Amino acid sequence: MNRAVILTLLILFGGCIKETKPKEHREMGTPIRTVKVSYGNPPINYKQKIKRYFSIRLNRGEFAKYKFSEPIRAYKRRPLAYGDGVEWRGWLVDVLVSVPNRYGKYLTKPYMVLFKNSQIVGDILGDKHKLITRVDSGKF
């Protein structure tokens, strides 16, 4: 009888135990979790690497003009359909690339160039992407 009473009490009050959660900081009302994550070292000679990368991939890329931001830490989330989580974590450089068309007029497009261990792993046309999160803020 005593065992049944103790077991019943444990089951009833077992849900009242406080669960420990990661420490959260509040900044402007939004909870922020502190997690130590490695983004690697900032890319070295990133301007030369980006120029070489686009000179091969763009028409008339050898005549392109560039405007670079400083490298910032960022990560790319995996789409929900593919299991969520983080797909890439490293450094991001915003670049404005102006390429001449066949009439000589320069057309400018923004790109985000993704780096991992000082190597370019990809580029994204545009200056925003719903799966890219910038950890730092960068300026041109």
- Residue by residue, pLDDT tens for the chain (140 residues) are 677 777 676 666 665 555 555 555 555 555 655 566 788 889 999 999 999 999 999 988 889 999 999 999 999 888 777 777 888 899 999 999 999 998 989 999 999 999 998 899 999 999 888 888 888 776 55
Contact between 117 and 90 under an 8 Å Cβ cutoff? The reply is yes
Q: What is the pLDDT of residue 73?
A: 93
Amino acid type, 130: K
Three-class secondary structure of residue 139 per DSSP: coil
DSSP state of 133: E
- Residue 67's H or E segment, with its range, is strand 65-68
Burial (0-12, 13-18, 19+ Cβ within 10 Å), 93: buried
Whole-angstrom distance, CA of residue 95 vs CA of residue 68? 5
**Bridge partner residues of 80 (DSSP):** none
Q: What is the pLDDT of residue 131?
A: 85
Contact between 92 and 71 under an 8 Å Cβ cutoff? The reply is yes
Q: What is the pLDDT of residue 79?
A: 78
